Structure 1
Amino acid sequence: MESLFSRDEKKQYQLEQINDLVEKNGGLVRTSEIEALGVDYRRVLHFVEEGYLIRVKSGYYTTKYFECTEDQWIQKLFGEDGILTMESALFMYGYLKDRPYKWSIAINKNTSKSRFNIDYPIVEPFYTEPEVLEIGVTETDFAGAKMKIYTKERLICDVLKYQEKMDREDFKKGVWGYIMDEKKDVVKLMEYAKERKVLKKVQNMVGVWL
């Protein structure tokens, strides 16, 4: 039986369906959602090769990749279970003036490592034990939505704990920013310092200024 549509017409129809789905989902669509439209995986690969679709990461695609800001992509990719930490959180709290070139995201250590196989934005995962991950978590307004972030006190404890992973100047600015913060909670800081096993470091490096 002869098809009602030519190959090019069918291709255009499928692309319009995918684009509508991407728009509806706010810029990101899963492979399974594309296949649910009747587009098989080989066709998806062809669309990527031809430049109609862009692979954001394994199993996720977009047709509007460069129309999203970095913040929006971070929120879309990691907003459900990721937590802003280290330099990213220091920047959000105003302790660092310059936006870091990479995004520091705390994540459950059991999450798939392939989630971070992305070229843009640049993300540094901090794989964390589940029982430690949710200690000192709050939320902040981020890219028009909400994103988890560590409280200032939990953050500074982690900054001290992972000092060797940080740029020296960022470390100093971050710690000093907290010391000068009139809204800091010293009692909470000491509580988190015990839990994060950095009590002596907090007392020696921060305590003298409090």
Structure 2
Amino acid sequence: MHVLLTAGPTYEPLDPVRFLGNRSTGKMGYALAEAFAAEGAQVTLVSGPSQLADPANPRIQTVRVETAAEMFAAASAAAEVADVWVFAAAVADYRPAQVAAEKIKKAGETLTLELVKNVDIAATLGQQKRAEQFAVGFALETTNELAHAQDKLYRKNFDLVVLNSLRDPGAGFGHDTNKVTVLDAAGQIVNFELQSKAEVARGLVSLILARRAAKL
């Protein structure tokens, strides 16, 4: 089995010094890569900028990228042959319309940036997903969590969506623990209580493999 897995943030350059990004560390995505590899899968891990070391497991091929466009290119290259897609990366929705060639100097009391939308990697690849392929997305929400996660499930052609809420203590960016809720198109919900991200990853991989086997 071949797994495509995206992880970490993306950085969208503003000038040679600054970028737009987010607080993702990649810990959940890297834990999932290790859990899939432990089950015998070959994993293509497309990682945004992360301080984590590349996994040592020989079953995991790490592809380092920086921007959403680079992540889309790398994910697209692996998606065709992958049996399972897991989109755990926190991809920037927008990027600066112009990247300054030199450092932007401070001038005036305000600075206005024009942003343009990045490609939606999961939604775009979801339009090409074959019936035998299994796609899992992540949704990090702060309000109306279930409604937003269900919307992503249908709109991006996911088989499962994993919901994180930043309102749950110990969950989300930067923590070594996580608490998630998994939804499917039939309305079934599976809750994973607060535990280490490695434990959550093992539970998610077991669930994904079971659901994929049932689908096939």
The structure in which a higher percent of residues are strand is 2
TM over 0.5: no
Query: Is the radius of gyration larger for structure 1 or structure 2?
Result: 1
The one of the two structures with greater contact order (alpha-carbon pairs below 8 A, sep at least 6) is 2
- TM superposition score normalised by structure 2: 0.25
- TM superposition score normalised by structure 1: 0.26
The structure in which a higher percent of residues are helix is 1
